[in-house]
Amino acid sequence: MGHMGQAEKRKEAVGEYEKGGTSLRELEAKYGVSSSTLHRWVKEAEAVGGIVEWERQRVRGELTAKASKALPREVRELRKELEEARLYNELLNAMIDIAEEQMGIDIRKKSGAKQR
């Protein structure tokens, strides 16, 4: 088997992943492409409705804005969730502090939760 071009490699790897039964880690080893790159390719292909359409658009240099926007949007959503979780965590800690102060008991130590 000759040396695969980037486009062929991309098509093969994404196609194999879409069929199922092969993990990104296995494909990483097989094709010598990082799993984060593979993940991006899969996401882009999904965003435009599959590998065939994705390749057609890539070849014609018209990969839709939809595909390139898909990932940043996901990142923004995850950042938002993370921030909400962080705030929720702060709120819980503040509530525990207040409860401890008012009741004069050490809630954190009692529950066996790890002290920071």
Domain ranges in the chain are 1-63, 65-109
| pLDDT tens per residue across span 73-110 | 778 888 889 999 999 999 999 999 988 889 888 888 75
Specify whether the backbone of 5 is left (phi greater than 0), alpha (psi in -120 to 50) or beta: beta
pLDDT of residue 75: 80
pLDDT of residue 78: 85
pTM score, whole prediction: 0.44
Judge contact between 28 and 34, C-beta under 8 A.
Answer: yes
Return d(Cα 10, Cα 38) in angstroms, integer.
8
